[in-house]
Amino acid sequence: MHLGVCGSVACYRATELLRAWFRLGIHVSVTLTDGARRFVTPLLFESLGAMPVYGGMFEAGQDIFSHLEPGQCAEAMVVAPASADALARLAHGAASDMLAAQALAFDGPLVLAPAMNPRMWSHPATRANAALLEQRGARFVGPDNGGTACGDDGQGRLAALPEIFLAGLQALSPQDMAGLRVMVTLGPTREAWDGVRFWSNPSSGLMGSALAVCAWLRGAEVTAICGPGVSAFLPRGVQRHDVTNAHGMYEAARGLWPDMDMGMFTAAVADFSPAPLGERKFKKSEAPDGFSLDFRPNPDILHNLAAVRRPGQKVLGFAAETAPDMDALLPLARAKLARKKADLLAANRVNAVGSGFGTPTNSVAVADARGREEIWPSQSKADVAWELCTWLLRI
């Protein structure tokens, strides 16, 4: 990865991007424009691990072909923040400073995250430059609306760092899911039993969001149907539909399913919902000796949609189980795979530490319709998602 940093009050935030990519083991080189070096120093980026850190075109001790090195070594280039001046140079092929020359000699994916005064961003010259760069394949992230350092409000501030971070990862990722439309259900459902209380579970939606992000990184057009309380980050490129209960999730999924190529059903949907006791709060004084609720079955989203899929649609299901160990989990995955008629089924132990609801890691047993079965040790949900997407593509 090569990171270009232009002169902007926001340029100090580039160090956070650097650290985030480093945590994933990504090598990052950096170029600071003259304007950027008025705000931050090369030493700051070097001390954080960036190597090399380029400065001006003709600095003493710098390799004479430094302007060509990112094009020879890096797989993606991200410019964050990108100033109006940088956009103009890149759009018109100027090579009078190091970053512009490096971009001109770079033929890989280019991600641009502009940051400038709103009036500068809205100026016809800047808009024309941005449009020209987009026509050539550059990907823009932002700018966002809001307050800027000069005190003006409007579109011009640097996009949220997670958006830029993921755009950089997308530029590095294989686009083996490009052209595919993927639907992911995630999170819990809430089934009301009076006007303010509900029947639910502690699902956070982390596994589903990891799958949605993974598919998006690999080029898919992703739609996420999210249960209540899902706060996991989803990039802007993922279409999000928020629902509350099982019936709402079923209706949303059923409406979208005919146009999808893949369905990833990770949501912890309540199997039953109580018959509500009314729209007001049920008071304790009304049942001092306790009370009973009548439960009725909810639609089985995975089973119902797998049953009506068209040829070519692929289905990934999840099973939350309380098995004594991983060996006991595999038969449960195998049984649910057959029962739901899915292509791929991942079962995870929700009663194990570091697996299941609300944890960043997962331990899963996986089975597919062709008879392949595996037990995976505990790993991040992002890694589980990546492997599941790869497996589903190969079925």
User: Which are the catalytic amino acids?
Assistant: 150
Residue 327 is labelled as binding a ligand:
no
Q: Which two tokens stand for residue 250?
A: 């079923």
Residue 311 is labelled as binding a ligand:
no
- Cα 76 from Cα 108, distance rounded (Å): 6
CB 294 within 8 A of CB 276: no
CB 183 within 8 A of CB 253: yes
Q: Which helix (H) or strand (E) holds 365?
A: strand 361-368
CB 98 within 8 A of CB 6: no
Q: Which two tokens stand for residue 87?
A: 């956009």
Residue 301 is labelled as binding a ligand:
yes
Residue 284 is labelled as binding a ligand:
no
- Cα 221 from Cα 2, distance rounded (Å): 26
Residue 395 is labelled as binding a ligand:
no
* CA–CA distances in Å: residue 221 to residues 182, 214, 303: 6, 11, 23
Which among 227, 185, 209, 176 has a CA at the least distance from the CA of 317? 185
Please list the residues that pair with 296 across neighbouring strands: 273
- Indicate the burial class of 95 (C-beta count within 10 angstroms; 0-12, 13-18, 19 or more): middle
Residue 314 is labelled as binding a ligand:
no
Residue 99 is labelled as binding a ligand:
no
| Identity of residue 200 | S
- Cα 253 from Cα 273, distance rounded (Å): 18
Residue 300 is labelled as binding a ligand:
yes
Residue 302 is labelled as binding a ligand:
yes
State the number of CA atoms in the 13 A half-sphere of 108 facing the CB: 20
Please list the residues that pair with 362 across neighbouring strands: 379
Q: How many helices and strands in the chain, by DSSP H and E?
A: 13, 20
Q: Which residues are annotated as a binding site?
A: 271, 281, 299-302, 318, 336, 340
Q: Which residues are annotated as a binding site for CTP?
A: 271, 281, 299-302, 318, 336, 340
